[in-house]
Chain A
Amino acid sequence: KGQQGRIDSFFKIS
């Protein structure tokens, strides 16, 4: 089972 990813690890914070 995987670990929960976070949005900010995929999309850059502007």
Chain B
Amino acid sequence: MIEAVLPQASLLKKIIEAIKELVSEANFDFSETGIRLQAMDKSHIALSFLHLRNDGFSEYRCDRSQTLGINLESFSKVLKCAANDDQVQIKATDKAESLSISFESTAKDRVSEFNVKLMDIDIDSVDVPDMDYQATVNMSSQEFARIVRDMMTIGEAITIDATKQGVKFSTSGDAGEGNILLRHRKTIDEEDGPSSTSVEINEPVSHSLALKFLANFAKAAPLADRVSINLIEDAPVMFEFKISDMGHIRFYLAPQIEE
């Protein structure tokens, strides 16, 4: 038996919106400690990783570990039937064939219930080793979304250069080229404002990445004020959006490699 309650449906809506473009169907692994999801996109270029801890839910019960295969488009459609402030409960019995999702209004005078069919999804999962990143950029997630949008007007690939001075995003295309530099601030405090950027660096590092994937990652911006971009030579770049007090979404993107 699985039962999980979130006080606001908007959080679950944002989580599903952040990954549904990259992953059409995914296995949700429920255990005593919480929910995990790992899925690659069809082209195996990006890996989405979601972790929601049990203590982030207002109620959480998982009698035995269970994997539920869910079509994210269907999940998203059902979640659109909830008001943002509705309480949402998801429930599945052992060996269930569907996931029950119910919404209760704040006044508790309206309760709706939907069932989404579960599916067997046979997908490869990968081992992500712990890595010592050479550089970590911590920046506003809104700023990240804006840079991705701006760069996409010019090119299809983006180069991220992290140095002690800051982080530079650049692109080029048939129409021309452009770059945006965010200077490193030592401390991120109120004086600097929430839009400031920090770059923790051991060694300068540079990666070229496909912009269309970053545009998908930027869909997680409503979940978190900040995003961290973790870079290491010759390995996928990791983008992390923390989900307040309960977990995170991480996206790993394979870099472009020299031919």
Contacts and interface: CB of A to CB of B under 8 A. Distances in A.
Interface of A: 1-14
A7 B127 contact: no
Contacts of B256: 1-5
Given A10-B235, A10-B236, A11-B236, A5 B254 contact: yes
Contacts of B126: 7-8, 11-14
- Chain B interface mostly helix, strand, loop or mixed? loop
Interface in B27-51: 40, 43-47
B160 interface: no
Given A2-B208, A6-B45, A11 B259 contact: no
A4 B157 CA distance: 10
B78 interface: no
A11 B208 CA distance: 18
A13 B125 CA distance: 6
B210 interface: yes
Interface residues of B, number: 25
B252 interface: yes
Contacts of A10: 234-236, 254
B124 A6 contact: no
Contact of B129 (A2, A7, A9, A11): A11
B127 A6 contact: no
B115 to A, nearest CB: 31
B65 to A, nearest CB: 16
B127 to A, nearest CB: 5
Contacts of A4: 45, 210, 254, 256-257
Given A14-B126, A14-B127, A7 B210 contact: no
B94 to A, nearest CB: 25
B15 to A, nearest CB: 21
Contacts of B208: 1-2
A2 B159 CA distance: 11
Nearest to B257: A5
